[in-house]
Amino acid sequence: MAEPQFLIPAEAMTVASVASFLKAEWVGGDGERVVRTVSALSNAGPDSLTFLDNPKYAGQLAVTRAAACLVHARQRDLVPADVAAIIVPHPHAAFVSVSRRLYPQALKPQSLFGATGISPGAMIHPTARLESGVVVDPGVVVGPQAEIGSGTVLAAGAVVGPGVRIGRDCAIGPHVSLTHALLGNRVILHAGVRVGQDGFGFELGRERHAKVPQIGRVIIQDDVEIGANSTVDRGHVLDTVIGEGTKIDNLVQIAHNVEIGRHCVIVSQVGLSGSARLGDFVMLGGQVGVNNHVTVGSGAQIAATSIVKDDVPVGARWGGRPAKPVRDWFREIAALERLGRARPGEKD
């Protein structure tokens, strides 16, 4: 049984056309050699484009079989004579640009059924409105009064609740559920994302805990991407908002009334408690926890596994448990290490 090739290049390029696409010069190798795929140095074949960004991999470059390698000008002499050296200022960024051209279908979820229209196995409420060009896989459910823009793909098993609005050219992955939500254009939701379920709100009492109605919405602006199995709760009386261009990894929890600014980067297993606020271009490392009603200022960076209990200033770099300015955090770690090395009765 032949191994399946899951992603097929959209086109073949020559070494010369790759260089032209990147507006770069090239030396050595064969300009007419065909480039059909992109590869790491270690497994590049004769039809591969590869790159060198880190000098520690120069040994792999010396024995590569690639058609061409993207390198910085200072590394051009490391490229074997039979491999074309394409000179670029940022090799990995150039590698990404070519990869996007060769594999555009890898950028967002596609129809799992190879559908080009609305599958007869989908359930679309008669009051829902779908613009032309929407792709709907089998097993999709679209509720009453929902609206879906042209070019959007709904993969198998996705559920779109009543009144939900989805913009144009969005990609809704398999088994995504959407309720109480408004999505902009070019939004990507990967498999298993849950958007719009009620937030975790209870009025605590001695005899029982009364559930608090969550009557807000989720607003996801243009060009947001949310990774697999992440969850976004709808607001209590305000809306939960995710700003344009923000990128969210897998397994992230966003609680009710959270406001996330534009172009933030949130890595896997982050938890944002209710009413937390993130400014623009905030970066949160893996497993960061942000307490309720805390504000993280624009441009701030929080190190992985940190717990943020206090407001973070604009542009700050914090880390630790609890989080604090990284300089203070590193100083504390160094002090603890000195104490650990000291013998009883000795002074450091």
> What positions carry a catalytic annotation?
256
CA dihedral 81, 86, 92, 96 (to 10 degrees): -120
User: Which residues, other chains included, contact 245 with Cβ-Cβ below 8 Å and sequence gap of 6+?
Assistant: 221, 222, 223, 224, 262, 263
Amino acid at 176: V
DSSP string, 213-266: P----EEE-TT-EE-TT-EEPPPSSS-EEE-TT-EE-SS-EE-TT-EE-TT-EE
- 263 near 282, Cβ under 8 Å? no
- Cα–Cα dist 196/73, whole Å: 50
Q: Which tokens sit at 52?
A: 């060198």
User: Which residues, other chains included, contact 81 with Cβ-Cβ below 8 Å and sequence gap of 6+?
Assistant: 28, 29
DSSP string, 65-77: --SEEEE-GGGGG
